[in-house]
Amino acid sequence: MSQVLEAPPATTISQDTAAKTSSPLDLTKRPPRSPRQKLGGFVILPRAIDKGRAKVADTIGEYHFACPLDQRFLKFVGIDGDALFDQIKAGKGDGEILAWVHETAKFKRADWEIAAWSEFQLSKSPDTPAAKEKQAKQIAAINPNRNDIITGFDLLDLDDYVSFGGRA
């Protein structure tokens, strides 16, 4: 089982706070929510929303909205990234966006499907030699002694943490 990495309190936003706000985030000063965070049972979605809000505010920094990670969610529910971005630009809160996802999704997913998909995403690790080598190089660049980084989410959390001053 992979270790959950936690950011220091200064870079953490509570789920309750994030769920109640549609305010933009400055991703040049702090990372988006972890891909592990869930909204309506969906992992990845809160992080995508954060990046979308930062894109609207032109404070997205080095992050990318509708990146390959975000595409995993978008493809699972059958929603276009531009359509999701339009909802974010409209200033909708997390709950409103989640309701829109459920109403608009091409693929209406049952709770058990969302849970199974999210669990799979949480445990997903590189599955080809090239992907394993790429991840190993990324980890080595951060800290070659970190042998606890197994999944893609582990690596993203670690990268977010060290990018904003944390020590690996």
Segment 56-80, tens digit of pLDDT: 999 999 999 999 999 999 999 999 9
The larger pLDDT score, comparing residue 106 to residue 168, is at 106
Which two structure tokens, joined as six digits, stand for 135? 């991840």
CA 161 to CA 133: how far, in whole Å? 22
Q: Which helix (H) or strand (E) element contains residue 39?
A: strand 38-39
Spatial distance between the Cα atoms of 40 and 120, rounded to a whole number of angstroms: 16
Q: In terms of domains, do 157 and 113 share one?
A: no
- Please tell me the pTM assigned to this model: 0.84
Give the domain extent around 166: 125-168
Residues 86 and 146 in one domain: no
Residue 89 and residue 109 in one domain: yes
pLDDT at 16 over 60: no
On whether both 85 and 112 belong to a single domain, the answer is yes
In a domain, residue 106? The reply is yes
**Mean pLDDT along residues 155-167:** 94
pLDDT digits (tens, 9 = 90+) for 85-143: 999 999 999 999 999 999 999 999 999 999 999 999 999 999 999 999 999 999 999 99
Decide if 2 is inside a domain: no
15 in any annotated domain? yes
Other Cβ atoms within 10 Å of 152 Cβ, number: 20
Q: What is the DSSP letter of 5?
A: P
Note whether 87 and 108 are same-domain residues.
Answer: yes
Number of structural domains found in the chain: 2
